[in-house]
Structure 1
Amino acid sequence: MSKLKNVKVEILKDETLSKNWYHLRNITFRYVGSNGQEKILKREAYDRGNGATILLYDPKRDVVVLVRQFRMPAYVNEDDGFLLETPAGLLDGDNPAEAIRREVAEETGYDVHSVRPLFKLFMSPGSVTEILHFFAALIDVEDRPEEGGGLAEEDEDIERIELPLEEALAMIGTGEIRDAKTVILLQWAAMNRESLRA
């Protein structure tokens, strides 16, 4: 039995600090801890909506499809900002499976008909509200009727990268792949390669 079962939380105030690209909130709440002590606390929460990401795997070639694009938050944290990632995007009101099929087509040009739900995770629950839905899908080079590259109206400039799974896994160790969702999906693929090929 968890010692936190008797914790009580009550939101007292929810202020908007910024609602430009996403929604930054300052939340004041009453927290009655596991020891019965009551405190009034403040935390900021960044609400960008929920999202989805997917591992695209070609079993014939033992290849994964990743994308590279510029990420300003990474750039301002001592990085070049160009991260290798699994295709991903916000749900924008769609169900997660529809949203990820849309994102795959926009970013990579691949047509994904069947997606396999894996799990959903909070990626940074100390500050970001987002739940990310993880998927996997088998692809074939014949399923790429478009070039991809992202949407110009969303200022996306995306490069599609196809890598052998073993090479992508090795790039985690070298630091060439350092995006958390991508590391999670590549490690899942390494543990489930036989079921992926079935």
Structure 2
Amino acid sequence: MKFAYAVTTAAMLALAACSNLAGPRPPVSEQLITATATIDSVNKTDRIVQLHDDQTGQAYTVYANDGIKNLDQLTAGDVVVVEYYDATAVSMATADSPEASAAMVAGEAPKGALPGGIAVQTETIVVEFLSYSDGIATFRTPDGLTRRTAVKPELQDFASKAHRGDMIQVTMTEAVAISIAKAPTT
């Protein structure tokens, strides 16, 4: 469980680092999601793990990249606890806003421990606001792409006050942590 607390703390610190301490805090949307799944099979050669969600029964196939250490310790029947922290902060950008930025922090289970890892990624970009209607915002990214995205309810007031041509700074912090618990014996 210390691992779960570590990811939550790391994600909160990463999000706090993105906020503007000198001015009012931007609208923030955040959610911690925890799911438990049982491993059905592990192909250690191809690094493919098949598992199913214990609550919904939905099957998933996951590719375990080289960042996932100790894969050889996983076997069918192991229970995987996944915690995913998702936070998005949105604020108006000033004329002298910094350029797009990104940061990534990662950690892994020590050699010999059960498999696990943590990754926290923060990205800030300035986009041109185009429109907002019925919970959907349209904006143009610095590379010229026009994108549409659903606006979470807690950010809709912010979006409804923006005008075409406004420069909006979007900061997204996402964190994922995976820890392993042995399946109960029967």
Do they fold alike, i.e. is TM over 0.5?
Answer: no
TM-score, normalising length from structure 1?
Answer: 0.27
TM-score, normalising length from structure 2?
Answer: 0.29
Structure with the larger strand share:
2
For CA contacts below 8 A with separation 6 or more, give which structure has more relative contact order. 2
